[in-house]
Chain A
């Protein structure tokens, strides 16, 4: 069974703090995606990482794909209340249309 474990499951921090969310698996992924979901809406794609060791930045968000393509992290610098939401990682296995989804990290940024 392929699993994608996210940690922490829940995180509540003050505005201005930094945080990191992790996504780990024993499986090797051809790509890994990060989504953010707000209440009452569907997930929205933030980034796709493809190459082992790859780092992508999206404003205050930094995404990293592990060298072995089994894990990924999302780091947010100086978190803002607008960053509040459910963060989901999803991995794509070779030659497979299905995404393997993590259970999500619920992030709350308090003003």
Chain B
């Protein structure tokens, strides 16, 4: 596709529900990042994939968060047993090269946990 797409754009979940957020990166981009962003703040790193390999998951806040990219393209961020503190915008970014690491972002998924 022309850019990074994410779905759904908005998700409302009841506390305790599981959610799955999808990211379609730019075709051919090797690197894929997930970020969490609070309102008016910079993105906070969650996890990083190089092709299908998850090379860094140090930013995942708890073991309720899980991400995968099984075929090296589409990625899914799953949050189990959602809590109110999980409410945030979840951004996905892809990058074609490790040089300068210029990232292209999707529009984000705004998750609200009630």
Residues of chain A touching chain B, judged by Cβ–Cβ distance below 8 Å, are 6, 30-31, 33, 35, 40-45, 48, 50, 86, 88, 90, 92, 97-99, 101-104, 106
Q: Which residues of A contact B42 (CB under 8 A)?
A: 6, 88, 90, 101-104
Q: 1/0 per position for B54-68, CB-CB distance to A under 8 A?
A: 011000000000000
Closest to A92 in B: B101
Q: List 21 A-B contacts (CB under 8 A).
A: A33-B103, A35-B105, A40-B107, A42-B91, A42-B93, A42-B105, A42-B106, A42-B108, A43-B91, A43-B105, A45-B102, A88-B42, A97-B31, A98-B56, A99-B103, A101-B43, A101-B45, A103-B42, A104-B40, A104-B41, A104-B42
- Given A42-B91, A43-B43, does the pair A99, B108 have CB atoms closer than 8 Å? no
- Are B102's CB and A33's CB within 8 A? yes
- Tell me the complex Cα distance, A6–B45, Å: 18
Min distance, Cβ A28 to any Cβ of chain B, angstroms: 15
Query: Which of the residues A35, A48, A103, A104 comes within 8 Å of B100, measured between beta carbons?
Result: A48
Residues of chain B touching chain A, judged by Cβ–Cβ distance below 8 Å, are 4, 31, 40-45, 48, 50, 55-56, 91, 93, 98, 100-108
- Are B40's CB and A86's CB within 8 A? yes
- Tell me the complex Cα distance, A73–B105, Å: 22
Min distance, Cβ A88 to any Cβ of chain B, angstroms: 5
- Are B102's CB and A48's CB within 8 A? yes
- Are A45's CB and B103's CB within 8 A? yes
- Tell me the complex Cα distance, A104–B103, Å: 16
Closest to A91 in B: B101
Counting chain A CB atoms within 10 Å of each CB, the highest count among B4, B93, B102 belongs to B102
- Given A97-B48, A101-B43, A104-B41, does the pair A45, B56 have CB atoms closer than 8 Å? no
Q: Which residues of A contact B44 (CB under 8 A)?
A: 101
- Tell me the complex Cα distance, A45–B42, Å: 14
